[in-house]
Amino acid sequence: MSANYNIIISGGGTGGHIYPALAIANELKSRYPNARFLFVGAYNRMEMEKVPQAGYNIEGLWISGIQRKLSLKNVAFPLKLISSLLRARRIINNFKPHVAIGTGGFASGPLLQVATMKGIPTLIQEQNSYPGITNKILGKKVNCICVAYDGLERFFPKGKIVKTGNPVRKDLLSISGKSITGKDFFKLKHNNYTLLVLGGSLGARRINQLIESQLPLFASQKVQLIWQCGKLYYEQYKQYHDGINIQVMPFIDRMDMAYAAADVIISRAGASSVSELCIVGKPVIFIPSPNVAEDHQTKNALAVSEKQAAILIKEQDLDQQFSDRFTQLLSSSSLREQLSTNIKALAMPNATSDIVKQVEKLLKAS
């Protein structure tokens, strides 16, 4: 089998699209060191910074999403789409890929559309339980669709679907039994419950407001906090950092240590976060963002909570439900054990490898 493949990958807009794209690229690179890689992203989005940091070349398209409410921004969308399709065609003609991979985000639409028109083998990786409009359209045309949830034959041709799970960071696969190591890393007490709060790299305003309002409850329960408030909110909440019972930080670099230290986790329900938390196997309270396309975070969280594998509390219900449900979770070892056991059962730790196996099938057939 030739190792001199040209592999083009598009995914971006959020870490939830970029990280899987990089994980797939890294696995392919480990198997085919002589392969050439090119990423395609959207101008002014985070992939234009993150992908070069990871050591890969990237080209940008002038593309953005359609606003779901009346907006002047939509006036430029047809022009951006035509521009991006033309540029994607030039990129593909110059790079001559043997396979094209899309992990979601604005740029993956034009790129995969052109690739399918040219007969290039194509694969998309859908992270969510409810796909976005781009992948729904592409699903009719691509060769393979790797998914993380059951039931997506509602949206995609059944014969193209392969359930692989979502790629997760390799360092999360080996945190079992490292609770003391994690607590030592953050200089926390060994015998106190540790709550890890995750609102994403930018932060979640409603989750931060909740944590601030519940600090007296946490103190009364002797709960210590690792609180990732996000870089947008750090100036507002850093006043609560005492370095002992409450550690407030804009971003956590060592997520493996944070997960290892945690006894209970509060998190948004983005697809990558859900997949990581299944691997981690700790009791989770999901507070999905209601402000994302198709409300897919709520659907992601429901796919887990309906299997008694996590607690789901909607933002609108936090004031009425949070303190009672958190206290119940903390006081019931059997509930914590049930949630932990059930969420671990949903984990798919070989996702990256399984996706790359599907890419290899396309390369062999090309």
CATH architecture, domain 171-344:
3-Layer(aba) Sandwich (3.40)
Question: What's the longest Cα–Cα distance across the chain?
Answer: 64
Phi, psi of 131, deg, nearest 5: -70, 155
Q: Where is 234: in which H helix or E strand?
A: helix 234-237
pTM for the complete prediction? 0.85
CA angle 31, 120, 138 (to 5 degrees): 105
The tens digit of pLDDT for each residue in 229-243 reads 998 999 999 999 998
pLDDT at 158: 96
pLDDT at 1: 46
Residues of the chain with pLDDT under 50: 1, 67
pLDDT at 69: 55
Burial 247-256 (b: 16+ CB within 10 A, else e): bbbbebeebb
AA identity, residue 81: L
Tokens for 132, please give them.
């976005």
Domain boundaries of the chain, sorted by first residue:
6-167+349-365, 171-344
Which residues neighbour 343 within 8 Å (Cβ) at sequence distance 6 or greater?
A: 277, 278, 281, 282, 283, 284, 304, 309, 310
Yes or no: say if 212 and 318 are a contact pair by the CB < 8 Å rule: no
Binding region for UDP-N-acetyl-alpha-D-glucosamine: 14-16, 128, 169, 201, 252, 297
- 228 vs 69: CA distance, rounded Å: 31
Binding region: 14-16, 128, 169, 201, 252, 297
CATH architecture, domain 6-167+349-365:
3-Layer(aba) Sandwich (3.40)
Which is nearest to 191 in space by CA: 114, 261, 277?
261
> E-strand spans in the chain?
6-10, 36-42, 58-61, 99-102, 122-126, 144-147, 161-163, 193-198, 223-228, 246-249, 264-267, 284-286, 311-312
Do 6-167+349-365 and 171-344 share a fold?
Answer: yes
